[in-house]
Structure 1
């Protein structure tokens, strides 16, 4: 029997990202785990309105989403512990500027450069609808077909409400190949 837990958010774990935007001519970074796929061409970033990074996103309409793995989780976590309003976070990471002007974290094995198409404010969150302009991936995590291999790249996941981090796990099946009807013998 299932127990009703109330109207809590239960779509966890979620990928841990560092979101970057230019603010007053220098990069600012913040830790974000409220990200999601909207369609094949767009992602959504749901960020508390008071973040300094939001200011840069609103002004420039360009943002980076940098996927975190265990090799730089400590540095990424720190970006969620301090405010860009009090601490200059522009030197927190070595970075490059993407083809569209977004700051990209060099340590990130995957960085997604986006153009903001729209914003929806809900409660205390700004939800940025972002069109993917470019995905930059370290060659060490690409398979023979030149695609990101999640057997090689293991992004960190965030779980709420316990505030714990997890690594992605092992493969358990192949999408669209497991959907055959279950035979009576398998039940």
Structure 2
């Protein structure tokens, strides 16, 4: 296989599309964030451009929710990622409830993790929140007969940055 050196490029795509939620006073604040990663068995890194309005609310509350996005949720997720909470009230975009951890949980998201921010650091114009997972809510339709999450039932949407495209997760191709 012939390969071409394309330079120093971040090429760990696609990534799952998520909507991060937090409380801004008594109202939820929503933002589509696609740079979310696993950094341990109970730790998630959420990396957000520093100019986002949502960051200040997360810093104040120390909590956030990560709501996974499927095809049905994508138009609203894309909207909350395209408009600024500084200029537009996004609090009523989603039906939600407040989870046990105090974060807004999107009703239409088949999987939501409530998180507590345990550490934050800045890097190259991004606020990076290291979070511990306090609660995970899963649609009953996405659980298998043993009560485990069946990711094939979530129909997740993925984000690919170089072309700014959305993809759907495909079928299982093998066991590991």
Question: Is the TM value for this pair above 0.5?
Answer: yes
1:25 corresponds in structure 2 to 26
2:7 corresponds in structure 1 to 6
Cα distance in structure 2, aligned partners of 1:169 and 1:94: 28
Q: CA RMSD in A?
A: 0.7
1:65 corresponds in structure 2 to 66
2:139 corresponds in structure 1 to 138
Asked whether 1:56 is paired with 2:57, we answer yes
How far the C-alpha of 1:125 sits from its partner, in A, is 0.5
Q: Deviations over 1:53-111 (max 9, x none)?
A: 11111001110000000011111100111000000001110111010100111110100
TM-score, normalised on structure 1?
0.92
How far the C-alpha of 1:147 sits from its partner, in A, is 1.1
Cα distance in structure 2, aligned partners of 1:33 and 1:151: 20
Q: Which runs of 5+ in 1 are unaligned?
A: 176-187
2:39 corresponds in structure 1 to 38
Structure 1 runs (4+) deviating above 2 angstroms are none
How far the C-alpha of 1:120 sits from its partner, in A, is 1.3
How many residues get paired?
Answer: 175
Instruction: Kindly report which structure 2 residues correspond to 1:38-117, keeping only aligned pairs within 5 A, or say none.
Output: 38-117=39-118
Cα distance in structure 1, aligned partners of 2:52 and 2:170: 31
Q: Deviations over 1:107-143 (max 9, x none)?
A: 1010000000001110110010000001000101110
TM-score, normalised on structure 2?
0.97
How far the C-alpha of 1:40 sits from its partner, in A, is 0.6
Q: SS of the residue aligned with 1:55? A: helix
Q: Deviations over 1:6-34 (max 9, x none)?
A: 11110000000000011122100000000
Q: Which structure has the larger Rg?
A: 1
